[in-house]
Amino acid sequence: MRFLETVSVVTGAGSGIGEATAKRLAREGAKVILVGRTEEKLRNVADQINSSQPDAAEVFAADVTIEEDVAALSEYIEKKHRDLHVIINSAGGSAQSKIRDITVEEWDRILALNLRSVFLVSKMLGNVMVLSASKEIKKKERAIVNVASLSGYKAGAHIPHYSSSKAAVINFTRALANEYAPFRIRVNSVSPGFVDTPLMEQGMKNPRFMEAIERNTALKRAGRPEEIANVIAFMASQEASYMTGSDVLVDGGWLIT
């Protein structure tokens, strides 16, 4: 129960790594605010959590690429909870395209999903953390974990906008960690490899793609969302109290083969 009496926000909580992380934090005692664009998906996850951990999860539908939506989320947290301890920036998306074929609109859309969202949430909700921390007599440590990607290390084929945005998330994490350290807010990122999530759904249906994963991954398989959630939970917990500005690669050994 590493997250007792903590308030946590998970973006992209309606599916995949965000969903698995929200469930993991709730099981360990956190009050979890599920954030995403599709309220129906969020409510489904919240119902699953609350069936075993009553009142552990609540829903806030928002597009975290839109400044006004994130401002509304920040105001909601301040008014209802008056505190915030953990932020998991898991919202994101991708698309297939060659550089010569990408429109400016598509480039901006993917950068907004993966980078602008992290910036807005870390800025506005991070300010809630800073203000809460400044009012405490007994200081609590707080944590932000940003979900980056293996593609931030090695650019994937036909996903130049996704790869660029995830590399930027890793470096933004370092800058944020340095700026927030005086407030006892740790900031780290995790870089998953190929994980069985809705983002990878079409690829996972392709036998050749799956054969390539098995051939080029040291552990010979794709990952599961719960395996990434395990690492995120550690990084957000006090067990990682001397860790900030780091990225943890969780790729099953893709880069070492």
Which residues participate in catalysis according to the annotation?
Answer: 162
SS3 track for the chain: CCCCCCEEEEECCCCHHHHHHHHHHHHCCCEEEEEECCHHHHHHHHHHHHHHCCCCEEEEECCCCCHHHHHHHHHHHHHHCCCCCEEEECCCCCCCCCHHHCCHHHHHHHHHHHHHHHHHHHHHHHHHHHHHHHHCCCCCCEEEEEECCHHHCCCCCCCHHHHHHHHHHHHHHHHHHHHHHHHCEEEEEEEECCECCHHHHHHHCCHHHHHHHHHHCCCCCCECHHHHHHHHHHHHCHHHCCCCCCEEEECCCCCCC
- As a whole number of angstroms, the distance between CA 238 and CA 206 comes to 40
115: exposed, middle or buried (Cβ count in 10 Å: 0-12, 13-18, 19+): buried
Q: Are 186 and 244 in contact (CB under 8 A)?
A: yes
- As a whole number of angstroms, the distance between CA 246 and CA 82 comes to 28
